[in-house]
Structure 1
Amino acid sequence: MPRYVVERNFPDGLNVPMNEAGADAMGGVIMRNAEKGVTWMQSFVSADKKQSFCVYDAPSPEAIRATAQKNMLPVDKITEVRVLDPYFYR
């Protein structure tokens, strides 16, 4: 399955509460992603919470866009990536 990095911009910042409501929201994202065969692997958020870089395994960029729309998440850029392990060369 291809792997992608999705760049998102949040002008007002990304605020996910650290409580049951936040956990429920993330669970909903995971469930809606699974409907299209999209797996959210990991995300990185900038210190100001205005930008995120999310790693996904997905069948296509279109599947990521479709799930982002269902999850009401912006998509600014999708890049297909491969793993480069710094220990590969040792």
Structure 2
Amino acid sequence: MPRYVVQRTFPDGLSVPMNDVGADALGGVIMRNAEKGVTWVQSFVSPDKKHSFCIYDAPSPEAIRSTAQKNSLPVDKITEVRVLDPYFYR
């Protein structure tokens, strides 16, 4: 399955509460993603919480865009990526 980096901008900052409300919200994202075969692997968030860089396994960029829309998440850019392991060269 292809892997992608999804870049997002949150003008007001991303806020996910560290409680049951936040856990339920993220669980809903995971559930809706699964409907299209999209797996959220990991995300990185800028210190100001206005930008995120999310790693996804998905059948296509279109599947990611579709689930983002269902999850009310912005998408700035989707880039297919592959692993480059710096220790492989030693």
Q: Same fold (TM over 0.5)?
A: yes
- In structure 1, give the amino acid aligned to 2:84: L
**Residue aligning to 2:26:** 26
Superposed counterparts of 1:4-83, under 5 Å: 4-83=4-83
- In structure 1, give the amino acid aligned to 2:42: Q
Q: Tell me the TM-score normalised to structure 1 length.
A: 0.99
After TM superposition, the runs of 4+ consecutive aligned structure 1 residues lying more than 6 A away are none
Cα deviations by residue, 1:45-85 (Å, 9 ceiling, x for unpaired): 00000000000000000000000000000000000000011
Quote the Cα distance in structure 1 between the aligned partners of 2:39 and 2:88.
25
- Report the number of matched residues: 90
Q: What is the deviation of 1:20?
A: 0.5
Which has more helix, going by share of residues? 2
Q: Over aligned residue pairs, what C-alpha RMSD do you find? A: 0.4
Quote the Cα distance in structure 1 between the aligned partners of 2:47 and 2:58.
27
Q: Tell me the TM-score normalised to structure 2 length.
A: 0.99
Where do 5+ consecutive residues of structure 2 fail to align?
A: none
Quote the Cα distance in structure 1 between the aligned partners of 2:88 and 2:32.
35
Q: Percent sequence identity over matched residues?
A: 87
Q: What is the deviation of 1:86?
A: 1.2
